[in-house]
Amino acid sequence: MAVERPVFTLPAWHRQESAEQIQARMMERLPPDIDNIEGGFPYDFTMPTALEEDELMNFVLIETLKIMFPAWAYGIYLDYHAAAVGLTRRPANHAGGYVTITGVPGTEIPVGTIFCVPAVNDVPAIEYATITDAVIGEPAEGDEYGTVDIGVTAVVGGRSGNVSADSIVIMASPFKGVVSVTNQAAITGGTVEESDDELYERIVFAEQSPESFVGNDADYIRWAKEVNGVGTVLIDTQYEVEHPNWVKLIILDANGQPANDQILAAVYEHIIAPDNRAEDRLAPIGAILVVEAPTGCSLTIAVTGLELTDGYTKAEVVKRFKDRLEEYYIEAKKDAEVRWNQIHAVFTKTEGVEDFASLTVNGKTENIEIAADDYPVTEGVTVE
């Protein structure tokens, strides 16, 4: 469940006055034989001081109080609070996946080769760089060209790199021996920089569940969430029952989708550090880690007859609804069931929803069971 940041309230001792009110008090305290009429010298000389005190009391002091506490701090000041508990803000993550290259057998594709989603109108091309060297293999019987699958990551971090299958279809520069390119599956995992609310939630988690140094569940969740692009982290407690000393993590990215191979590998590397166990390993000696993405229990939600509250757009409501669903899915996973009435309730309580006629999940108004290795994933939301 997301941690709500408390609303900041002014302390009782704070006297919120305007510059005019402050100056009026100053003028009242002048000796009786001093001219205090508006426009006189005392009046004109006191106003700059009143303006400065107004800014100091009603802005500088209030903002100073906010940044002193994680609950109300923001930006770099929240980063300072995070550093105090050993955390750093996660930068934008680069989307990743695989492209399939078709071409002349034996053609070498060096690491860093750029393939693209074509530019459309005013939208620039989206570039992806290969992360390993590769060689196009031999063709199947009867074919002229061979293929090779290569891992790629978006050149620019963020959600713009998340694209559907068959979107990456061109080379940035002509490449001899390459006939065609495509991504047979979606490219995923591109996320924006960690928000203040997300960082605050990790700070609260770190303070409430300090590191045990023995590898308990809270430790593994904390360690996994230190990796760029990671969203929800679940521990398969039944897996350890059958495999002593094994820990199985189920990872979703920060967009609520099953984590891609690059994110999963980064989580494993961060916790196990197989190449530098002595200095970087976080997991205790003897622990064996399995990091997987859920196979995905895809949900398509359809809403009809939506009436919006004044001032809200359909796009805003859908985004808020999806964010709230991510919170509910954690509870649903524990129950091993997505309950239709809970989805209905989540949409009803979504800010901006005035009323609606009907809501279905996968075309029905029934509960949906979640298998042991599955996790609910919002495939789409349609609103009429």
Domain boundaries, the chain: 19-68, 96-182, 196-292, 297-383
68-85: pLDDT as tens digits? 999 999 999 999 999 999
pTM tops 0.85: no
Local confidence band at 113 (pLDDT 50, 70, 90 cut-offs)? very high
Residue 37's pLDDT is 74
**Which 3 state secondary structure label does DSSP give 380?**
strand
Position 348 confidence tier, pLDDT thresholds 50, 70, 90: very high
Is residue 1 over pLDDT 70?
no
Quick one: average pLDDT of 195-201? 94
Residue type, 36: N
Average pLDDT, the chain: 91
Stretch 90-96: mean pLDDT: 96
| For range 278-291, the mean pLDDT | 91
> Is it the case that residue 372 has pLDDT exceeding 80?
no
Q: Identify the residue with better confidence: 249 or 256.
A: 249
Q: Where are the beta strands (DSSP E) in the chain?
A: 96-103, 108-109, 114-117, 126-130, 134-135, 146-154, 170-171, 178-182, 230-235, 246-253, 288-292, 297-304, 307-308, 337-338, 353-355, 358-361, 368-369, 376-383
Q: Is the pLDDT of residue 202 over 70?
A: yes
| pLDDT score of 286 more than 60 | yes
- Specify the pLDDT at position 195: 93
139-195 confidence digits (pLDDT tens): 988 899 999 999 999 999 999 999 999 999 999 998 899 999 999 999 999 999 999
d(Cα 220, Cα 138) in Å, to the nearest integer?
43
Distance CA 298, CA 178 (A): 35
* pLDDT score, position 327: 84
- Cα–Cα distance, 273 to 146 (Å, whole number): 36
Average pLDDT for 54-65: 92
Q: What's the confidence (pLDDT) of residue 2?
A: 66
- pLDDT tens digit sequence for 206-230: 998 887 878 899 999 999 999 999 9
What's the mean pLDDT in 118-128?
92
Tally the residues of the chain.
Answer: 384
